[in-house]
Structure 1
Amino acid sequence: MPLSLGLRDEENERINNQLKKLISLVFVPDGWSDTTADEDLSQIGLSLGKLKGITPDELNNHLKDTGLDWANIELFADFMAELSQKQEFENLKPKAVSLYSFIQMGSKMFSFDITSKIARLKQ
């Protein structure tokens, strides 16, 4: 049964808050913990291990199937881009680029901000 508009908004807001928490973990060196990140990622059916092993196309489809809106998918790509700065997560960089490209094509809206994020990651 599809979610009503109100429930969908609440779900998107909950996911948005989880993604913001993940992003803050990456920015605060003392706050990073694989366990904490896995707990937050489990809210959208992922873990750090799954994130490392999943293909870019599978990740794109998984996030879309989870019901994330384009803004939340962009937040998730931002999280992955920041996390890819850590040596053990360098393989997430192409996945973040793929997500940004997926957003550009799927949302049918061009964003200079996303284009600049892609260019930064490809350097």
Structure 2
Amino acid sequence: MLNKSIRDEENIRIDNVLKTLLSLVFVPKFWNLEDIALIENELKDLGMNIQSLRDFGEKDLITHLQRCHLDWNQLEQFADFLVAFSKDEQFDFTEKAIAFYNYIQQESKMFSFGINSKIAAAKAKL
């Protein structure tokens, strides 16, 4: 278990990675090599790359990110990133995002209408 100051630093680092990932995929576009390199660089901080993101099963990806100490809000942000990254046909991580949202709803023991609407919106894209 991490002590409080290390956990706070880790939390800030993860938040910054997620904010950067979300900002990179905010505008849907066709991804060129430079854009993909930026995404890869940020994913590296979470111990993965785009290929490993494709290769991970839904449960394995959730387990991997739990090992990176992501909290419920951060898992939701990562799922938001997956949905935004999937807007382009080149990448499709919508099913993995739905798995994250479902996992959060079930395991956090708190029902969220926001997450429920995100699940419905993601399912509509499939």
Q: Same fold (TM over 0.5)?
A: yes
Q: Secondary structure at the residue paired with 1:85?
A: coil
Q: Distance in 2 between matches of 1:84 and 1:28?
A: 11
Counterpart residue identity of residue 6, structure 1: S
RMSD of equivalent CA atoms: 1.3
Percent sequence identity over aligned pairs: 43
Instruction: Count the aligned residue pairs.
Output: 120
Counterpart residue identity of residue 74, structure 1: E
Is this contact kept in 1: 2:28–2:87, CA < 8 A? Answer: no
Is this contact kept in 1: 2:28–2:88, CA < 8 A? Answer: no
Relative to the length of structure 1, the TM-score reads 0.92
Counterpart residue identity of residue 80, structure 2: D
Counterpart residue identity of residue 115, structure 2: I
- Deviation, 1:41, is 0.4
Structure 1 residues 109 and 25: CA distance shift in structure 2, 3 A: same
Q: What is aligned with 1:11?
A: 10
The correspondence of residues 57-96 of structure 1 with structure 2, limited to 5 A, is: 57-90=59-92, 92-96=93-97
Higher helix share: 1
Gaps of 5+ in 2: none
Q: Distance in 2 between matches of 1:105 and 1:81?
A: 19
Relative to the length of structure 2, the TM-score reads 0.90
Matched, 1:42 2:41: no
Gaps of 5+ in 1: none
Moved >4 Å (runs of 4+): none
Q: Distance in 2 between matches of 1:115 and 1:55?
A: 22
